[in-house]
Structure 1
Amino acid sequence: MFNIVLVEPEIPYNTGNIARTCAATGSTLHLVKPLGFSTEDKYLKRAGLDYWDKVRVIYHENFQELREKYPEGRFFYLSTKGKRYYHEVSYKPGDFLVFGKETQGLPQELLEANKEFTFRIPMLPQIRSLNLSNTVAIVVYEALRQLQFPDFV
């Protein structure tokens, strides 16, 4: 359905939870190295429960490799630095939803180069950010809502 891209994720629990969301939504999970954990991590596996065999996971050495592999892809970047809100996008199946690492988000140069494709989730001003796995779930389910949850029960 969608392509969920995690750029240099650091926390195995979050990636495991996101893998579970990918399984539930038919989305592909793209992991951009370096990862802040081993893919054999017990916490990663526990967070993903028994859904790992239902998730397509693709590894990329860096973000440039990912972009070169999918030159026609529509990429949307999620960041607290976005000027527009995530629900203002008209999502289509196959879109790439790109999220940064937990401690720093996406690289500034990537955001600068993609300002018109960078979006945010509204929050109270005193809050720095949402949890990564919660952010992914919010955005992917908004995209699915726009498509009227095709093939979902």
Structure 2
Amino acid sequence: MGRYNAASKTIAPLYIMKLDNVKKLHQKKYRQELGHCLVEGEHLVLELEKAAQNNPALNASKLYVTPAYQDWSTRFEKQDVTERQMATIAGTKTPQGILAVVPMAAIQPEQNNTLAAVYLHEIQDPGNLGTILRSLAWFGGVRCLLSPGSVDPFNPKVIRSSMGAVFHVPMELDVSIDTLPERFAKIGCLDMDGEPLSSPEFKACDCYIFGNEARGVPRDKLEALNAKPFTIPGVGLIESLNLATAVNLSIYERQR
């Protein structure tokens, strides 16, 4: 449980990492094996550099740039590549010509256990996680806990959809749902029969649990957590809200 732990991994030093290995970082097993992930595109690299101002460990990142970005001023080590080489290591069809390889052990902000938490149980969609992280970064004051079996937050699709929020939101990985009662005094969840989010009790929670996009959170788990149910009022013309939308509305209500 906790931040990415590189202690038991064989971390490939960036100065000897070949382009073939950089390309492999699109796959989770190689990210775990090599201890690095990809950050692609001008905006995300700028967010990475901004985060490195407060997190010096990120200065171990390395940039790969095409001739269009050869004059890019950066705090990171930089390697020139051809446009053809960039096309082989980038994950987008039309790469901008700049990407970074980042040590995963450095990417997460320091933990702050006084913050409220959003707990995501076995969520699978990279876009959902990225959007949730982006909202948490916007509103602030909330960290993100991910259960075992959830989508990898270092997946390039998560990083892209988070618009760089992954560098700013405190995260814990592989947090068992069974450990929540010993860590949090009052846990809230969403349920069609719950009290409205405007209830004062909603803001009193210090952990909010959200489930898998298709299955939600098992009922027996919610009962064991003694989770307080709340609902997002609506006219009910559709069955439910998208997971990311539900989280975003909940955090907005909590912070306003």
Match of 1:131 in 2: 242
**What is the match of residue 137 of structure 2?**
23
Counting matched residue pairs gives 140
Equivalent pair of 2:180/2:225 in contact (CA under 8 Å): no
The equivalent residue for 1:44 is 158
Return the offset for 1:13. 0.5
Pair 1:106 & 2:106 matched = no
Q: TM-score, normalised by structure 2?
A: 0.50
- The answer for the alignment partner of 1:74 in structure 2 is 186
Q: How far is the alpha carbon of 1:114 from its aligned partner?
A: 5.8
Fraction of identical pairs, as percent: 26
Alignment RMSD:
2.1
Q: Pick one of 119, 126, 131 that aligns with 1:5.
A: 119
CA contact (8 A) 2:130 2:160 kept: yes
1:103-146 Cα deviation digits (max 9, x unpaired):
1111111334467711111233341110111111111111112x
1:78-93 equivalences in 2 (<5 Å): 78-80=190-192, 82-90=193-201, 91-92=203-204
Q: Aligned partners of 1:61, 1:2: CA distance in 2, in Å?
A: 15
Normalised to the residue count of structure 1, the TM-score between the two structures is 0.79
Structure of greater Rg: 2
CA distance in 1, matches of 2:191, 2:148: 19
Gaps of 5+ in 1: 146-153
Q: Which amino acid aligns with 1:78?
A: L
Q: Identify which of structures 1 and 2 has the higher relative contact order when contacts are C-alpha pairs closer than 8 Å and 6+ apart.
A: 1
